[in-house]
């Protein structure tokens, strides 16, 4: 059956997801339109395709035990010089994301992390330092908040594009295997989006 490259994340809802994706592209990050705006729970992981049904069942069980929680983005940070990333900080929902990612990685797809888990939303990766500096400054006043109502499983295609396979709403029957729909996180509450 071969292997597939999977990731699990919480989507940043609209209009914030598209806004941040456009800003990321505007900083010169060519990967911006291949990666939906998100908070990672499982980073890109190569998996034996035969494990996919078991992993879907595991994700459904994790989601079934979850409850919606508040998420808030506020300000920017950077992992430089360790990693060439500028991100929008997660000011609320960090504990819940941390617990979720441990549960996600505790099933049939186990993954050691290269760095300690730090939930965030990437807005620039691997681009020129001047563009990274711009991202850090221009989004410093960015804020957005919403209610996280679940997470989703994504697969990276041979074209580099990440596509949703299934959405896993919190509190569903643990025997379900998720639903193959586009993300539609509810409860978007407020955002402030500075323009340069």
Q: What is the pLDDT of residue 172?
A: 59
The tokens of 158 are what?
């041979």
pLDDT, average across residues 105-122:
92
Question: Is residue 125 in a domain?
Answer: yes
pLDDT, average across residues 121-139:
97
Helix, strand and coil in the chain, % to nearest 5? 25, 35, 40
3-state secondary structure of 52: helix
Euclidean distance between CA atoms 92 and 10, whole angstroms: 14
Question: Is residue 177 in a domain?
Answer: no
The backbone torsions φ and ψ at residue 162, rounded to the nearest 5 degrees and listed phi first, read -90, 130
pLDDT, average across residues 25-36:
94
Cβ–Cβ < 8 Å for 136, 84: no
Question: Is residue 175 in a domain?
Answer: no
Higher pLDDT, 115 or 132: 132
Q: What is the pLDDT of residue 136?
A: 97
pLDDT of 53 above 90 = yes
Question: Is residue 79 in a domain?
Answer: yes
Domain span holding position 58: 3-170+184-192
The tokens of 146 are what?
């919403």
Angle made by CA atoms 54, 112, 44, in degrees to the nearest 5? 65
- The total of structural domains in the chain comes to 1
Q: What is the pLDDT of residue 188?
A: 35
Question: Is residue 178 in a domain?
Answer: no
Q: What is the pLDDT of residue 112?
A: 87
Q: What is the pLDDT of residue 110?
A: 86
Euclidean distance between CA atoms 190 and 179, whole angstroms: 27
pLDDT, average across residues 121-127:
97
Q: Find how far residue 33's CA is from the centre of its chain.
A: 14
CATH number at residue 24: 3.90.1140.10
pLDDT of 193 above 50 = no
Question: Is residue 179 in a domain?
Answer: no
pLDDT of 7 above 50 = yes
Euclidean distance between CA atoms 176 and 150, whole angstroms: 14
Burial class (CB in 10 A: 0-12, 13-18, 19+), 183: buried
Question: Is residue 145 in a domain?
Answer: yes
Q: What is the pLDDT of residue 67?
A: 96
Q: What is the pLDDT of residue 111?
A: 87
Euclidean distance between CA atoms 32 and 193, whole angstroms: 18
Percentage of the chain lying above the pLDDT 90 cut: 83
pLDDT single digits (tens) 12-28: 999 999 999 999 999 99
């Amino acid at each position: 059956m071969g292997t597939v490259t999977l990731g699990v994340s919480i989507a940043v809802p609209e209009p914030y997801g598209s806004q941040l994706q456009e800003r990321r592209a505007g900083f010169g990050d060519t990967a911006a339109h291949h990666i939906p705006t998100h908070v990672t729970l499982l980073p890109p992981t190569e998996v034996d395709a035969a494990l996919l049904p078991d992993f879907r069942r595991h994700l459904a069980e994790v989601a079934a035990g979850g409850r919606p929680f508040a998420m808030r983005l506020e300000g920017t940070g950077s992992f430089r010089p360790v990693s060439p990333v500028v991100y929008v900080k997660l000011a609320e929902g960090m504990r819940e994301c941390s617990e979720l990612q441990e549960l996600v990685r505790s099933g049939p797809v186990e993954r050691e992390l290269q760095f300690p888990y730090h939930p965030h939303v990437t807005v620039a990766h691997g681009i020129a330092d001047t563009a990274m500096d711009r991202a850090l400054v221009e989004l410093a006043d960015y804020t957005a908040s919403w209610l996280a109502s679940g997470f989703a499983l994504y697969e990276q295609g041979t074209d580099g594009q990440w596509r949703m396979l299934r959405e896993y709403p919190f509190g569903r029957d643990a025997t379900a295997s998720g639903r193959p729909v586009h993300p539609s996180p509810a409860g978007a509450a407020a955002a402030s989006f500075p323009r340069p």
